Chain A
Amino acid sequence: MTRRVVMDDKGIDRALARIAHEIIERNRGTDKLVILGIPTRGYELARRLQKKIEEIESVSLPVGAVDATLYRDDLGIKKDQPTLKKMDIPIPMDGRIIVMVDDVLFTGRTIRAAMNALMDFGRPLSIQLAVLVDRGHRELPIKADYVGKNAPTSMKEGVKVHLMETDGVNEVVIEPAPGA
C-alpha cells in the first residue's frame, strides 16, 4: 500500500466552489447562515467556504470554530489526550442555520460531539454538515449534506487533508494508517 494523492490544490478548490454553490442553492440564499469549522483544518476550510460564498453572493457570513474536544466520548478511554482548541461562536446560535465544516468524515463521533457542543450555545434552526472527504466507516447515524469527495477506504488506511494554512500544501492523501 502506497501513498496516493486523491485531491490536489485545484481539486480541493473546485470541490469547495461546488459546495459553496450547493449551500446557497439548498438554503435559497444566505439568510441566517453561519459557518462553523471544527479545528484545526475544518476551521480553515470554513474560512475558505465563507470566501467562496462571498465571491458568489457578495455577503460576508459569520464564521467561527466549534471545538468538540470537551464533548468527546473517548476521553478517559484513550491514552492519547486531545489538545484543547479554541471555541469561537461569533453570534448567538438561536434561530440560525449552522453549516458545520470538517476535513474528513469518518466514524461520525466528532460530529456528534460538535453538535452537542453547539447545543450548549443555543437552539439553532438547523445544522448542516459539509466535509471535504467522506471516507466511510460510520459508527453513528450521521450523514454529510455536502461532500467534496467520496473516498472509499479500508480501515488499514488513513486519510490526511493538508492545507496551505496549516501544512504548507493543499492536498488530500490516502496512506497506510500508523501501525497498519
Chain B
Amino acid sequence: MRLKRKDLLGIEDLRADEIELILSTAESFKEVSDREIKKVPTLRGKTIINLFYEPSTRTRTSFEIAAKRMSADAINISASSSSVVKGETLKDTARNLEAMKPDCIVVRHSSSGTPRMLSKYVACSVVNAGDGAHEHPSQALLDMLTVKEKKGRIDGLSIAIVGDIAHSRVARSNIYGFTKLGASVIVAGPPTMMPPGIESLGCRATTDMESAIKGADVVMMLRIQTERQKESFFPTIREYSRLYGLNEERVKRAKDDVIILHPGPINRGVEISPEVADGPYSLILDQVTNGVAVRMAIFYLLLGAAREE
C-alpha cells in the first residue's frame, strides 16, 4: 500500500487508513535509529529543503535527522538568514528553490495555509511542519504513535488536551487525528483561549481542567506560548498555572495508567510541574524519539515510490 499524495498538509485531509499506514511504517523505522550505523540508502539522491519561517529546534532537527538517516540531502533555510529579510515574496522564494530541483520542501510558517499555497506553486512534495494556528501534522502523528505504542491502541481511549487551544496547531491536528482513529477528545482551557465552535472538529470542550482530565487515558499539555501573550489572554502566569497547570495532585484524577504528553518546549512550573514532566507517566522524550521515526515514514511514503502522473 502507498500514500497516494504529493503533499502532507494536514491531518484533516487524511483518511484513517492513511494515518494507520504512516504509523505502522514509522513503527518499522524506529529500529533504524537504534542501529550502530543509523542510515539506510532508501532516499539516496533525493534533496529535501527545510524552509523554516519560525524558530524551531526540535521539529527542524527532527526533519533533518530523518532525512539524513534515509540518505537524502537536507538543506536548512531559516527566514532570518534568507532573502525573506530582503523582501522576497514566498511565491518567489518557492519558485527559486524549485529551480534547484528539490524533491521535497518542509515548511513552517506563522501564517495558516502557507504550505497549501506553496504546494500549488511547486511540483515537488510539500510537508507542513506547522502553519500558524492551523495544523502541525507530523506532531500529531508522533503523538498518536507514542500513544499507540504505550496503550496498544487508540480506538476507545479518552484524550484530554489542555491549554491554549485557540492558538494551538498541535491541538487541531491531534483533534482530527485521534477522533479519526476512534478516540474521544476533550479540550480544556481558559475561555479566552477556547475558540468558539471548536466542537465542530469532533471534540468536546470545557473550561474546567479537572473535569477534562478525570478518567483520561492520555493528558496532553500544550505550551503557553509566551511569544503570543502580548495580547494577554489571562491575568498572570501564576493564575494560569493554578487553574490549568498539571501537577501531581491533578494527575491523580486521570486513570491510574495515564500517560502525559507535551509537544515541547515545556515551561516548567507553568503548564506542567517539574515532578510531572520528569515523572514516570511522562512520555515527553519518547515523543521526541518517535518524531524522527514518523518523519522518516512521511519521507518514505511521499518520496519512496514513482510519482502518480
* A67 engages B41 (CB within 8 Å): no
- Is A14 positioned at the interface, with any CB of B under 8 Å from its CB? no
Binds B, one of A53-61, A69-77, A161-169: A69-77
* A78 engages B25 (CB within 8 Å): no
> Of the candidates B32, B37, B297, B306, which one forms a contact with A76 in the assembled complex, judged by CB atoms under 8 Å apart?
B306
Number of interface residues of A (CB under 8 A): 20
* B41 engages A71 (CB within 8 Å): yes
CA distance A71 to B37 in the complex (A): 14
- Is A79 positioned at the interface, with any CB of B under 8 Å from its CB? yes
CA distance A80 to B3 in the complex (A): 10
* B2 engages A81 (CB within 8 Å): yes
Within 8 A of B (CB), among A139-180: none
Number of interface residues of B (CB under 8 A): 25
* A76 engages B40 (CB within 8 Å): no
B interface residues (Cβ-Cβ under 8 A, vs A): 1-3, 24-25, 27-29, 31-32, 35-37, 39-42, 297, 300-301, 303-306, 308
A interface residues (Cβ-Cβ under 8 A, vs B): 67, 70-71, 75-81, 83-87, 116-117, 120-122
* A84 engages B41 (CB within 8 Å): no
Contact A79-B42, Cβ < 8 Å, known A87-B31, A120-B35, A121-B35:
no
Contacts of B305 in A (CB 8 A): 75-76, 78-81
CA distance A86 to B305 in the complex (A): 19
Contacts of A70 in B (CB 8 A): 32, 40-42, 300
Contacts of A122 in B (CB 8 A): 36
* B28 engages A81 (CB within 8 Å): no
CB nearest to B307 among chain A residues: A79
B112 to chain A, nearest CB (A): 30
CB nearest to A122 among chain B residues: B36
